[in-house]
Amino acid sequence: MKKILTVAVLAAFGSMGYAADKVLDADIVIVGQGAAGTAAALAAAEGGAKVVALEKKGLPGGTGNFSEGIFAVGTKMQRDHYIDLTKDQTFKKIMAYGHWRSNARLVRAIVDKSADTVDWMQKNGVKFEKLTTNYPGGLYTWHIYEGRGAGWINLFQKKSKEMGVNVLFNTPAEKLLMKDGKVAGVIAKDKDGNKVTVNAKAVIIATGGFADNPEMMKKYTRFPNTDGVAQSGKNGVGIQMAWSAGGGKEGLDVQQSYRPGPRGVGTTNHVSATAKQPHLWLTPKGDRFTDETIMGDWPAAGNALERIGGQMWVVYDSKNLDSMKHDGIVQGVGVMVPIGAKLTNFDKEWDAAEKAGWAVKGATLDELAKKTGMDPAKLKASVEQYNNAAAKRHDELFAKDPQYIFPVKQGPFYAIKSVASSLGTLGGIKVNDRLQVVTDKDEVIPHLYAAGSDVGGMYGDSYDLLMAGSTIGFAVNSGRIAAESAIKDNKIGIKK
Ligand SMILES: Cc1cc2nc3c(=O)[nH]c(=O)nc-3n(C[C@H](O)[C@H](O)[C@H](O)COP(=O)(O)OP(=O)(O)OC[C@H]3O[C@@H](n4cnc5c(N)ncnc54)[C@H](O)[C@@H]3O)c2cc1C
């Protein structure tokens, strides 16, 4: 009798903090409806599963909404463009870039699935507008879809709904439901404070990482002070849920480095675009610290910037500015402000940038030093070294390609405050090539799967730009594979 009473009291305490209890049953519960979760939901519904999906925000898509294109190798689009890159070559390049610290089986699974995934997206109505790469010399693997990520994500959401997927918005997952020590569903809270319990045969976690969790960023990443673009709400709860069930850790220190730029400014701003060019980059004190052409390879740019504390001034003169306005920029800023784009909005956008404190103008270098806080002697010495390198066509300091050394001579002079930037974290949960969550010793945790940026193992020691479109590629392919594995492992019925 005493024992029964104790259980009842615990049950009552267990519900404390919730307005009421709601209980739902599903074959598969998916946590997060961004890129990976949306792909997983459609794939699971197509496989005949009864799906409940939980989304923290009021809308689907997460960071995926902002994306422009997806990685794939071996597609018809590539064949049509005479791109003869093979899956084997791509796999080897990815593994070599990460010094073979990636999960080779996982990388192989994603590479092998990628062309089929583009076919699958097309079959489901996604239109691709072009094939490109994202830096000089990069692989032509970036398949650009119409309407950015929001386009295909909303389309998939509509299809999933028609197939019976029940998406609960404004309902963040809080923890895993465990029964007899096994994963048995998810507990969430809706916007009215109700406890939502979803009983399920399988759980897929796809909450997009932890870039909005300062403690986790500080504890696990090398770049905790980056400007996290479009990361609101990414508090790492999904990752912690997997760890709480015994899931292992992988790839926590890898972030999707983005082009350094002014903090919190959109990618289409033309004043900001001047900071994303290979102009003269100076430390807050006024010293040069790198070959600035590494801007083309953002992970490298992020590494160099973090080494000097994560903040720099990008300096150019009025002659350079004229050239960017009238001849166009030498380094594209995504597909929105491509290489050669003329920065015609610069004058319109300047005042706001100056007022916000990240853009500074000085009639002389002394005035620029005063306004930026750089040491005037260091600033002048750096400019002199740079101008000499331009005249000699040889940069004795950092061997920068002389065609990108534009001298800084003619006032007024401009300086843009730039910080290291990231499009999100890229690690956390350890998985195998079937996207099953595994322990640190590679033992499978039954009924638990993870996908997208919550998962580690795709990148070795650094995010790479090599396979353009790789993070959406990973999100969509891993979401699909997780759904297929969950259906197979848990014997969920096939409808068609
Ligand atoms: C501006 C920009 C452009 C980009 N362009 C590209 C590109 O062209 N190509 C490319 O490969 N990558 C690109 N990326 C990166 C890409 O968008 C991400 O890597 C991808 O969206 C990750 O997918 P995901 O599903 O893991 O996370 P997300 O798409 O962010 O989805 C995670 C979802 O989980 C939800 N969530 C979080 N916590 C909970 C919780 N507790 N309960 C329920 N739901 C929760 C979030 O609200 C969100 O909807 C870009 C990123 C940005 C910011």
Distance in Å, CA 211 to ligand 1 centroid = 11
Q: What confidence score (pLDDT) does residue 180 get? A: 97
**How many A from CA of 110 to the centre of ligand 1?**
17
pLDDT at residue 1 above 70? Answer: no
pLDDT at 15 over 90: no
Q: Do 256 and 422 meet the contact criterion of CB atoms below 8 Å apart? A: yes
The two structure tokens encoding residue 297: 């390879």
Q: How far is the CA of 321 from the centre of ligand 1 (A)?
A: 35
Q: For residue 70, how far is its CA from the centre of ligand 1 (angstroms)?
A: 13
Nearest Cα residue to atom 13 of ligand 1: 67
Asked whether the predicted pLDDT for residue 6 surpasses 70, the reply is no
Q: Hey, is 186 helix, strand or coil?
A: strand
The b/e string for 91-129 (b: 16+ C-beta within 10 A; e otherwise) is bebbbebbeeebbbebbbbbbbbbbebbebbbeeebebe
Model confidence pLDDT, tens digit, residues 261-302: 999 898 899 999 999 999 999 999 999 999 999 998 888 998
User: Rounded to two decimals, what is the model's pTM?
Assistant: 0.90
32 C-beta closer than 6 A to ligand 1: yes
Average confidence (pLDDT) over 71-75: 98
Sequence spans of domains, the chain: 17-254+426-489, 259-422
Q: How far is the CA of 231 from the centre of ligand 1 (A)?
A: 8
What is the distance in A from the centroid of ligand 1 to the CA of 307? 27
Ligand 1 within 6 A of CB of 69: yes
* Homologous superfamily (CATH) for 17-254+426-489: FAD/NAD(P)-binding domain (3.50.50.60)
Range from 14-28, 224-238, 386-400, 474-488 carrying the lowest mean pLDDT: 14-28
pLDDT at 332: 87
Give the pLDDT confidence score for residue 2 in this predicted structure. 38
Q: Is 472 in the pocket of ligand 1 (CB under 6 A)?
A: yes
Whether pLDDT at 324 is above 70: yes
Give Cα separations from 399 to 37, 207, 386, 441 (angstroms). 45, 42, 11, 45
In testing the pocket of ligand 1, which one of 471, 474, 477, 478 has its CB within 8 Å of the most ligand atoms? Answer: 471
Q: Which of 184, 198, 234, 162 is nearest to 426 (CA)?
A: 234
Name the percent of the chain lying above pLDDT 90.
85
- From atom 5 of ligand 1, which residue's Cα is the shortest distance away? 67
Q: Which protein residue's CA is at the shortest distance from atom 42 of ligand 1? A: 172
Q: What pLDDT is recorded for position 336? A: 82
Segment 210-219 mean pLDDT? 97
Percent of the chain clearing pLDDT 70 (strictly above): 96
Mean pLDDT of 301-310: 90
Cα 65 to averaged position of ligand 1 atoms, centre (Å)? 7
User: Over 70: is that where the pLDDT of 495 sits?
Assistant: no
The residue written with tokens 């791509």 in the block is 90
pLDDT tens sequence across 172-188: 999 999 999 999 999 99
Answer whether 67 contacts ligand 1 (Cβ < 6 A).
Answer: yes
164: left (phi over 0), alpha (psi -120 to 50) or beta: left
DSSP element (H, E) containing 202: strand 195-205
- CB 75 within 8 Å of CB 478: no
- Whether domain 259-422 has CATH 3.30.365.10: the reply is no
Q: Which of 207, 226, 259 to mutate to test the pocket of ligand 1 (most atoms within 8 A of CB)?
A: 207
The atom of ligand 1 lying closest to the CA of 38 is 25
The verdict on the CB of residue 36 being under 6 Å from ligand 1 is yes
Q: Which atom of ligand 1 is nearest to the CA of 60?
A: 49
DSSP secondary structure string, 395-439? -TTT---GGG-----SSSEEEEEEEEEEEEE--EE-B-TT-EEE-
Instruction: Please report the pLDDT score of residue 225 as a whole number.
Output: 85
On the question of pLDDT at 124 being above 70, the answer is yes
Pairing mode of beta strands 21-31, 195-205: parallel
Ligand 1 close to Cβ of residue 33 (< 6 A):
yes
Range of weakest confidence among 66-75, 139-148, 434-443, 463-472? 463-472
Q: Is 231 in the pocket of ligand 1 (CB under 6 A)?
A: no
Centroid of ligand 1 to alpha carbon of 31 (angstroms): 13
Q: Which residues face 176 on adjacent strands?
A: 186
pLDDT at residue 333, as a whole number: 86
How far does the centroid of ligand 1 lie from the alpha carbon of residue 398, in Å? 36
Query: Model confidence at 136, in pLDDT bands (50, 70, 90)?
Result: confident
Predicted confidence at residue 138, as pLDDT, reads 83
b/e per residue 357-375 (b: at least 16 CB within 10 A): ebbbbbeebebbbeebebb
Other residues' Cβ atoms within 10 Å of the Cβ of residue 270: 22
Asked if residues 85 and 126 have their Cβ atoms less than 8 Å apart, the reply is: no
Q: 65: Cβ below 6 Å to ligand 1?
A: no
Taking all residues of the chain, what is their mean pLDDT, rounded to a whole number? Answer: 94
More confident residue, 125 or 3: 125
For residue 3, pLDDT beyond 90: no
